Amino acid sequence: MTRENLRINAERLLRRLDELGQIGALEGGGNCRLAFSDEDKAGRDIVLGWMRAAGLDIRIDRFGNVTATRPGREDGPPVMAGSHTDTVATGGKYDGNLGVLAGLEAIETLNDAGIETRRPVAVTLFSNEEGARFSPDMMGSLVYQGGLPLEEAYGIEGIDGSTVGENLERIGYIGDAPVGGNEVHAFVELHIEQGPILEDEGRTIGAVEGVQGISWTEYTFTGRSAHAGTTPMSRRCDAGYVAAEVAAYVRRLAAETGNGHVSTVGVFEVEPDLVNVVPQKAKITADLRNFDNELLKQAEQKLEAFVDDIAGREGAAVARRTLARFDPTPFDTGMVDRIHGIAERLGYSTRRIASGAGHDAQIMARICPTAMIFVPSVDGISHNIQEYTKPEDCEAGANVMLHTLLELAE
């Protein structure tokens, strides 16, 4: 078997996905393995067992990030795959898990074929990517990269009032290796798309060019509650009406902005929420995303202008709160080109794609050349027990991962 013909062991990869998916399994499918829970520990333990059985060097850092390394002919920074095995409360069995297990599978494929690489090849399981129990998300990669001090991360309180530090200690995943200052030659993360684009277009592989910039703003409008029957329209100051006009504008803004811009009003609440009372208060959120930071900024400015105008005309007060703001993260173009080329060479239908969701890879992009491989999500569903990616697509993604690591390791 030549290097070019090398393929991963799909049966082993899929079996492990199933086994991992049985830990914290939910009625009807999917998983609940919230970060640093007993289920998270059990998931980590089984993966760690496979890493050990593959003869890899295991390194666990002070924040529970697990790196398993296969040595190269030379020392020096490894080529690294990685993702996470924690889930949201109603998670699927592909999100995160696929990236970790495909990295491990690629390494075991090299073992099975007896292939030596110049550089070490590693796979990392990052702590708490989801942020569902302890905010922010991508916490493990952030600490690994050095963007969040360890002691600060330990002190973060979760939704149940306990801290990251006490839970990490409880599950026994505070390792000896220091955090920060890690040197990595290149990083690649395989992940499900979590959207419908690849499936819609009948493509198997997405070469991910980067992560969209995200802008989250909460608007609270204050008007004047009034009797819906006895208050003439000219006398109204209707907070719900202002919010509705803004929500309708947020949709128009997507078309106006272009470049794959998405924008969403996910929260809409009014007070007192009674059929015959003009709403005194309304709260909505605007979630704007674009891969181009200038376009994202333009969209933000246009929305602000619209909000000021419509609230001003109604005489309603506006309170704003920025909930999140991340610039877009473009990935390394050489890495993206490489993934695209490998996928084509292996015979998979491929396109370049932007990620609408956040991933550990966007943190790793701060310290080394980074890109991602996407595979299709059936119906675009994720963070849901119905999350599903076809076995042949998992296999395809892992094969692209294998050859990407192989090339980068030479």
Interface ranges with a copy of itself (CB under 8 A): 193-197, 200, 212, 214, 216, 218, 226-233, 235, 238, 240-241, 243-245, 247-248, 251, 254-255, 260-270, 273-279, 282, 285, 287, 289, 323, 355-358, 380, 382-383
**Nearest to a copy of itself of 114, 266 (CB atom):** 266
Q: How far is CA 176 from CA 38, 66, 145, 173, 256, in A?
A: 21, 11, 16, 10, 52
Rounded to the nearest whole angstrom, what is the least distance from the CB of residue 245 to a copy of itself in the complex?
5
Rounded to the nearest whole angstrom, what is the least distance from the CB of residue 52 to a copy of itself in the complex?
35
Q: How far is CA 80 from CA 71, 102, 269, 293, in A?
A: 12, 12, 45, 28
**Nearest to a copy of itself of 181, 229 (CB atom):** 229
Rounded to the nearest whole angstrom, what is the least distance from the CB of residue 263 to a copy of itself in the complex?
8
Q: Decide: residue 230, CB within 10 A, 0-12 exposed, 13-18 middle, 19+ buried.
A: exposed
**Nearest to a copy of itself of 50, 291 (CB atom):** 291
**Nearest to a copy of itself of 110, 357 (CB atom):** 357
3-state secondary structure the chain: CCCCCCCCCHHHHHHHHHHHHCCCECCCCCECCCCCCHHHHHHHHHHHHHHHHCCCEEEEECCCCEEEEECCCCCCCCEEEEEECCCCCCECCCCCHHHHHHHHHHHHHHHHHCCCCCCCEEEEEECCCCCCCCCCCCHHHHHHHCCCCHHHHHCCECCCCCEHHHHHHHCCCCCCECCCCCCCCEEEEEEECCCCHHHHHCCCEEEEEEECEEEEEEEEEECECEECCCCCHHHCECHHHHHHHHHHHHHHHHHHHCCCCEEECCCEEEECCCCCEECCEEEEEEEEEECCHHHHHHHHHHHHHHHHHHHHHHCCEEEEEEEEEECCEECCHHHHHHHHHHHHHCCCCEEEEEECCCCHHHHHCCCCCEEEEEECCHHHCCCCCCCCCCHHHHHHHHHHHHHHHHHHCC
Rounded to the nearest whole angstrom, what is the least distance from the CB of residue 164 to a copy of itself in the complex?
22
**Nearest to a copy of itself of 10, 262 (CB atom):** 262
Rounded to the nearest whole angstrom, what is the least distance from the CB of residue 284 to a copy of itself in the complex?
9
Residues 195/353, Cβ–Cβ less than 8 Å:
no
Rounded to the nearest whole angstrom, what is the least distance from the CB of residue 42 to a copy of itself in the complex?
27
**Nearest to a copy of itself of 282, 367 (CB atom):** 282
Residues 394/98, Cβ–Cβ less than 8 Å:
yes
Binding residues, as ranges, are: 84, 95, 130, 191, 383
**Nearest to a copy of itself of 72, 279 (CB atom):** 279
Rounded to the nearest whole angstrom, what is the least distance from the CB of residue 211 to a copy of itself in the complex?
9
**Nearest to a copy of itself of 277, 317 (CB atom):** 277
Binding residues for Zn(2+), as ranges, are: 84, 95, 130, 191, 383
**Nearest to a copy of itself of 12, 302 (CB atom):** 302
Rounded to the nearest whole angstrom, what is the least distance from the CB of residue 142 to a copy of itself in the complex?
19
Rounded to the nearest whole angstrom, what is the least distance from the CB of residue 87 to a copy of itself in the complex?
15
